[in-house]
Amino acid sequence: MIPGARLIILGRQGAGKGTQCVRLSRHLVVPHISTGDMLRAATREGTELGLMAKEIMDAGGLVGDDIMIGLVDERLGRPDATTRGYILDGFPRTVAQADALDGITSERPIHVVIDLDVPREIVLERISARRVCRDCGTNYTASGQESQTWICDVCGGDVQQRDDDTPDAVNRRLDLYESQTSPLIEHYAAQGRLMVVNGVGRPDHVFKRLTDVVESRR
Ligand code: ADP
């Protein structure tokens, strides 16, 4: 285990990133900071930011860089992140966000950036089967037999398809990933901080690959 590990996990939507990040955060005992979860929490709370973000998220767009950079700057400055470290999931998503993050983390640099690599055709299949608990955010995979809504095993909340998992929104998000986010792979490779992990296969196998990479960077 790296004491004070600071990691970024990049990867296409639906690459299993969220679930792997939750598991990795327990394994390393560091907070999982997901900008998508932060925005969805703001939406549930009905804050101004949440309402604005919901419209953008449902259309598969990206929330403005300044807003996202402000949110992440504040979150990374909290004591759990400054002392323990963190797993950053969903940020940065643009070169402007990555440049700002380099500044935010100049005193405590990121140790490793992992690209969890899953091809577009596979993530399209996975996202159409993705179901999420509205209350606690636990992810499920529909096998096709289930009725539209079911009850979460963890908290008893309603498990549904995300509003932004419609085919149009998913395709828009994947296009934005190729145009806006994939250049970050070059950005971090040039800094010598990028490791690519194959995200295809059984979740336990993918998790082992992730922990092996993290351990190799101790
Ligand atoms: P996904 O499952 O598509 O990876 P996330 O849960 O990470 O999605 O994010 C959901 C939505 O929240 C994104 O489609 C986008 O609208 C918004 N969002 C999250 N993080 C960012 C970010 N760093 N910059 C801009 N928008 C963001």
Is 1 domain-assigned? no
Higher pLDDT, 137 or 105: 105
Please state, in angstroms and rounded to a whole number, the distance separating the CA atoms of residues 138 and 214. 24
Identify whether the C-beta of residue 39 lies closer than 8 Å to the C-beta of residue 50: yes
State the pLDDT at residue 94.
Answer: 96
pLDDT, residue 1, reads: 47
Q: Which residues line ligand 1 (CB under 6 A)?
A: 13, 35-36, 39, 56-57, 61-63, 68, 90-91, 93, 97, 164, 173
93 part of a folded domain: yes
Global pTM reads 0.88
Cβ neighbours, 10 Å, residue 4: 15
Domain residues for the domain of 130 are: 6-216
Q: What is the mean pLDDT of residues 162-184?
A: 91
Q: What is the CATH number of the domain that holds 207?
A: 3.40.50.300
Q: Is residue 109 part of a domain?
A: yes
- Going from the Cα of 90 to the center of ligand 1, the distance in angstroms, rounded, reads 6
* Spacing of C-alpha 88 from chain mean position: 7
Kindly state whether residue 15 falls inside one of the protein's structural domains.
Answer: yes
The pLDDT, as a whole number, for residue 146 is: 60
Rounded CA gap, 181 and 98, in Å? 10
Return d(Cα 90, Cα 99) in angstroms, integer. 15
User: Given a cut of 90, is residue 181 above it in pLDDT?
Assistant: yes
**What pLDDT, on a 0 to 100 scale, did the predictor assign at position 167?**
85
Confidence of residue 25 (pLDDT cuts 50, 70, 90): very high
Residue 192, pLDDT score: 93
Q: Check pLDDT > 90 for residue 26.
A: yes
- Total domain count for the chain? 1
